[in-house]
């Protein structure tokens, strides 16, 4: 075989090997999650359920599938912008509805400070201190409507709304005794128990993030 023929064979083998290595036909198809119809990033407002007073303006929140990737459960996370919660919600992907009843808040912390030692109050006085974040979340009437909202960019995007209540842990104290140092007196508070304190319901509503600069907040 001549040197010319050797070069031709070598080049042919190289082309075949290159084409084989770049063949994408056998790559696995990328499939969406079982909650893709309702998952995404949202700009949401928090409003009074009675007179629509605005308490929190558009803030970023997310809905996403769980590690199990089941169709009837999703994570709902307000990114610490509203209540500071991350909880599981029940979903109906066909109806585009969601809800939660006293769902555990993963961001809950029981850390708190007891009532101040002053001013001095009568023994037996009671005071309550709320947790900084809700222990649980209740969400009612949640729904998503497709391509029903027009943001500033004038495009069409999805709209989300629900009634939401934060269930805070209330740490209940009683003025149990006094600490006396000379003429200085302060109150010693004793934890007498805990209870639940509801904040809400509020209306939370807003639109799915579009990616357009004029729709950002």
pLDDT tier for residue 201 given thresholds of 50, 70 and 90:
very high
Domains of the chain are 33-114+135-170+197-211 (2.40.128.220)
* Sign of the Cα pseudo-torsion (79, 83, 84, 90, in order): negative
**What does the buried/exposed string (b/e) look like for 15-27 if buried means 16 or more CB atoms within 10 Å of the residue's CB?**
eeeeeeeeeeeee
Which residue reads 């004029």 in tokens?
Answer: 214
CA distance 85 to 77: 6
pLDDT tens, 15-65? 444 333 333 334 333 357 899 999 999 999 999 999 999 999 999 999 999
Return the bridge partners of 103, or none: 137
- What are residue 59's phi and psi, to 5 degrees? -135, 150
What letter would DSSP give residue 214? G
CB 151 within 8 Å of CB 215? yes
pLDDT tier for residue 207 given thresholds of 50, 70 and 90:
very high
Biggest CA pair distance of the chain? 113
**C-alpha pair distances (Å), 114 with each of 66, 130, 141:** 37, 10, 36
Q: Mean pLDDT across the stretch 115-138? A: 97
Is the whole model's pTM more than 0.95, yes or no?
no
CA distance 143 to 97: 4
pLDDT tens, 170-184? 999 999 999 999 989
pLDDT tens, 147-164? 999 999 999 999 999 999
């Amino acid at each position: 075989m001549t040197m010319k023929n050797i070069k031709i064979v070598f080049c042919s083998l190289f082309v075949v090997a290159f084409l084989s290595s770049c063949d994408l036909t056998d790559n696995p198809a990328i499939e969406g999650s079982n909650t893709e119809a309702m998952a995404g990033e949202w700009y949401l407002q928090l409003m009074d359920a009675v007179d629509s007073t605005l308490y929190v303006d558009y803030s970023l929140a997310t809905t996403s599938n769980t590690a199990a990737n089941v169709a009837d459960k999703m994570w709902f996370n307000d990114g610490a912008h509203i209540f500071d919660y991350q909880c599981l919600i029940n979903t109906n992907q066909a109806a585009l509805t969601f809800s939660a009843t006293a769902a555990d808040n993963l961001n809950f912390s029981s850390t708190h400070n007891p009532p101040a030692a002053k001013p001095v109050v009568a023994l037996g006085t009671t005071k309550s201190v709320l947790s900084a974040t809700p222990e649980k979340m209740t969400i009612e009437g949640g729904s998503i409507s497709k391509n029903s909202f027009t943001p500033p960019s004038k495009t069409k995007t999805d709209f989300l709304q629900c009634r939401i209540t934060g269930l805070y842990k209330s740490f209940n104290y009683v003025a149990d005794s006094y600490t006396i140092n000379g003429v200085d007196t302060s109150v010693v508070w004793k934890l007498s128990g805990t209870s639940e304190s509801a904040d809400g319901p509020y209306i939370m509503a807003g639109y799915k993030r579009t990616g357009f600069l004029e729709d950002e907040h």
